[in-house]
Chains A and B, each alone.
Chain A
Amino acid sequence: MGAKKNGRFEARFTALREEMEKVIVGCRDVIEELMTCLFSGGNALIESPPGLGKTLIVKTLSEALDLHFSRIQFTPDLMPADIVGTNVIMQDDMGKRYFEFQHGPVFTHILLADEINRATPKTQSALLEAMQEHAVTVGGVRYELEEPFIVVATENHLETEGTYSLPEAQIDRFFFNSRLRSPGLEELREIGRRTTTTFSYTVKEQLNREEVEEMKREARGVEVESDVRRYASRIVLATHPTHETATDTVRRFVRYGSSPRGTQALTIGGKVRALLDGRKSVSPEDMRSVAKPSLRHRLILNFEGEAENIDPDDIIDEVIKQTPESGA
């Protein structure tokens, strides 16, 4: 894999981002994180209040990639079969009845699972299983999903009454957790211009399915030197309150630190960042740039942390500041 090819990764990535920004105002972090997640083969959890354009972001991404897109609004009465599909009885010309599998909305490339915390646990776990396995099993038959398959789930933390929070073990399965922030004055005015005038833009396809798969493979192939790799593990260990390297705020406010999946997100996310910078190996800075989306949902605060409304991002800042780039 030569430098030229790495340059192409970056060019493709940038073209895709720029195309999305023709529709989406601001939110560059979230767009980049979402794309990093896609090329890492992970799934994303986006936290956001309603109306900030989550659906638009995900839909635009699918249009710019010529990928199939489905959206499921999660509700308390959504059933697993509403996601994966179900066997229905059909009748042929001879009047004979037989079962036929009706594919559910999970058979897509990009799946937006809106307000995932509104569904009951069994329905949530049906989605998460599909997300993990890239396959679903119905009536004893296994159906593979086509690659790429990425789930973008959203959680709304404002209206929490009647919701079923995802258990930590399930949240841990998301590669990245992004935060969509409310737009500032300038961005808000631009949103007004784009949405209340005759402005309209048709998203042009930037990459096809094979190209996305190729970029995923390219990302995995990036090297990580052992010292940098260990940096990822050291960051994760420093989020554990009982570990000797834990920082003061971790000891005080964290109940459980990140799982090993956090190190995987740091490393693979870091690989994508390295490619974007035209490099063939991951630097500590690459890992730092993905530390928050990789770790914020994997830190579980203790009672004191919850009571004092501690932001996991602040804890991650401190962990990064205090974790040496090289060492034991």
Chain B
Amino acid sequence: MSDEISKVIVGYKDIIDNVLTALMSRGNVLLEGVPGIGKTMLVRTLGEVLDLRFRRVQFTADLMPADIVGTNMISQDEAGNRTFRFERGPVFTHLLLADEINRATPKTQSALLEAMEEHSVTVAGTQYVLDEPFFVLATQNPIEMEGTYPLPQAELDKFIFKLDVPFPGLDDLDEIIVRTTYEEMPPVDVVAKGEDILELRKLVRQVPIAPHVEDYAARTILATSPVSEFATDMVKRYVRAGSSPRGLQGLILAGKVKALLDGRYAVSCDDIDEMAHATLRHRVQRNLEAEAEEISPDAIVSDILEKTPQTAEAA
């Protein structure tokens, strides 16, 4: 699947892998990167490879919740009776790209996040269930903080991963030109269907995890919290609040996908380490001192991984 996507998307191998991992874990992803680096293309290609429906919503300051979930319209039937008919919004899809999510007002953001969490929407008292698999890929760009509404921590926490998309280097840029300035994009083959994804999601959850790995993941999560006995010095100094239990779910599920991808049937501590940055960087809330000293969340996560022993005895 990852190879098929790479036919269209240049570079970003690890971003693609992480997006697929999130999809298998039934999580949603937040991508941060400058405009024009192919985020829409990535989601569209993912939709084509998996033969899933795809919609894109550009978030703006005046976007309303009804623009996402849909709204009731008055309609008249043949007998002349007027009834309400629910006009489905763009959220009724499989893959939803929420572009520049931080431009919308909090109420609109939360409408999406609710759909994302519940896999259903409620309009005027009626609940509508979304088709599975349902996967949200939200983007925000670091440019232009003016006129944006940053996602509150509680909402950030609902994304299993936050991925930083770097600017492509010379070779990748060159390859982008090769692929986009001639006739056609290469067609991608459908390599899996929606049902396959659902199957895989079930399979992922069946991967066993040894108690000591579970323990390691839990200690890693606790280490992000400055008040915990497991906190590293760096966490105590620079972190205001650590990861929620969702971080642990993310770590373990992503670790399970990682293990499966490697053809192993159990999660190792290294799997946990590998997924830690994507899972924890948006869950480590830095304090003022860290922001002033420009300590990145990634640096804090790296420090935690380095200082947290893989076995409890050594602690």
Q: Which residues of A approach B to under 8 Å, CB–CB? A: 89, 96-97, 120-122, 124-125, 128-129, 139-140, 167-169, 172, 217, 220-221, 224, 226, 229-230, 232-234, 236-237, 240, 255-256, 259-264, 267-268, 271, 298, 300, 328
Contact = CB atoms under 8 A, between A and B. Distances in A.
Contact of B176 (A125, A168, A264): A264
Contacts of A237: 169-170, 173
Contacts of A229: 174, 177-178
Given A139-B87, A172-B36, A260-B37, A122 B181 contact: no
A194 B88 CA distance: 54
A142 B182 CA distance: 26
A260 B63 contact: no
Contacts of B176: 260, 263-264
Contact of B143 (A129, A140, A256, A262): A256
Given A129-B56, A233-B173, 16 more contacts: A122-B60, A122-B62, A122-B63, A128-B58, A139-B87, A224-B177, A229-B174, A229-B178, A230-B170, A230-B174, A233-B170, A233-B177, A237-B170, A240-B167, A300-B143, A328-B170
The residue among A167, A234, A237 with the most chain B CB atoms within 10 A of its own CB is A167
A94 to B, nearest CB: 10
B38 interface: yes
Interface of B: 34-38, 56, 58, 60-63, 67, 76, 78, 87-88, 99-100, 103, 141, 143-144, 147, 167-170, 173-174, 176-178, 180-183
The residue among B36, B67, B87, B183 with the most chain A CB atoms within 10 A of its own CB is B36
B61 A256 contact: no
A260 B36 contact: yes
A221 B35 CA distance: 27
Q: Describe A's contact surface by its main secondary structure.
A: helix
A260 B170 CA distance: 10
B204 to A, nearest CB: 33
A121 B61 contact: yes
A97 B170 contact: no
Contact of B144 (A128, A167, A328): A167
A132 B177 CA distance: 18
Contacts of B78: 96
Given A221-B183, A267-B177, A234 B88 contact: no
Given A96-B78, A121-B62, A233-B170, A263 B143 contact: no
The residue among A139, A226, A260 with the most chain B CB atoms within 10 A of its own CB is A260
A260 B103 contact: no
A298 B265 CA distance: 48
A167 B37 CA distance: 16
The residue among B58, B170, B174 with the most chain A CB atoms within 10 A of its own CB is B58
Given A172-B36, A259-B37, A125 B58 contact: yes
